[in-house]
Amino acid sequence: MNGTLRVLHHLKKEQIMQSLKLFLFILGGFIGFTSCSEDDDKTIVDLVVENLDCSILEAAVIHAGITEALKSSTITVFAPDNDAFKTIGIESEADIRALDKTLVAAILSYHVIPSSVPASAIQTANNTEITMLDGGKAYVTKNASGVSVNGAKVTTADLKAENGGIVHVIDAVILNEIKNIVGVAQTYPELTFLVAAVLRANQGSTKVVDILSSAGPFTVFAPTNDAFKAAGFATEAAINQADPNVLANILTYHVVAARVYSTNLTTGDVTTAQGGKVSINASNGTVKGKSNNTASAIIGADIPASNGVVHVIDTVLLP
């Protein structure tokens, strides 16, 4: 499954249709998107057309049916640039037009706040919860490194629209995931060994599936299949023969009882659900277990889940 389909196929039909209605009604009224110009007389479509860095967003807006203002409204838009779309497998305007427009609208509606929120009004804190137009929750962080939402960094802030709305350009597309951490892991072919380990561990005294399916929030450092192989688990069959309690001890060492996006990471030791500590190096994006000789690189950050966030790593962490 390609990256685009993998991140989109979780969306429920009723959620998509609700998002489409909200997006058409409210984002359609956002006039004068000025990330590309100081001319307040231009509409969002006019301004996006003139900005090469926003050409995929332009295609998304048009494909979703937004060609003229429908209703004036004061809102805030987190606007992904072209590189942001490319990170989820949408390489061009043609890729956007090949998608069902309801899916495109569902993505875009999760990027809109129903009020005007300049960067100066955002409190300095980690993961301030906000409600987006589709009803989903997003998490805004403001710290010394700047402002981010769900780990997506604001690269240009406080671009003003003629009706009082605000645009913040971001470097990633944010997604409203409806599956929990276990469900999300099950959709990634690179994490089948991890899923096997979680299911096997659940047969012991620690119900890992129940933990990772609960409300959380949690952050999971998720080792890839190759990471498990390097740790001595050559096949999923080998995992299924392992002691469930041993697996549970290892797996819970990969879980932090908090929602920690890449922009929330700080260098230092963090206590895991297992009780031991892992060492984070925020400057180079690594995490190291107590018994590991080398640190594990975070090779895939900020994968959303309904009850937390997943970071893919290339080494199994050892307590």
Residue of higher predicted confidence among 245 and 109: 245
C-alpha to C-alpha distances, 46 to 33, 71, 200, 274, nearest whole angstrom: 8, 17, 55, 53
Q: Residue 44: which residues within 8 A CB-CB, separation 6 or more?
A: 27, 30, 31, 32, 33, 61, 66, 161
Cα radius of gyration rounded to whole Å, the chain? 21
Q: Which residues pair with 187 in a beta bridge?
A: none
Tens digits of residue pLDDT in 100-143: 888 888 888 888 888 889 999 999 999 999 999 888 999 999 99
DSSP string, 20-78: HHHHHHHGGG-----SS-S-TTS-HHHHHHT-GGGHHHHHHHHHTT--S--S----EEE
The domain segmentation of the chain, as residue ranges, is 3-170, 181-313
Checking if the pLDDT of 36 tops 60, the result is: no
The token pair that represents 124 in the structure block = 């300095």
The CATH H-level superfamily of 181-313 is FAS1 domain (2.30.180.10)
Total-model pTM? 0.82
Note whether 3-170 and 181-313 share their fold: yes
The CATH architecture assigned to 3-170 reads Roll (2.30)
Q: Which two tokens stand for residue 55?
A: 């050409």
Q: Which amino acid does the sequence have at 75?
A: I
Exposed e or buried b per residue across 143-161, where buried means at least 16 C-beta atoms within 10 angstroms of its C-beta: eeeebbbbbbbbbebebbb
- For residue 53, the model assigns a pLDDT of 77
If one compares 64 and 191, the residue with the highest pLDDT of the two is: 191
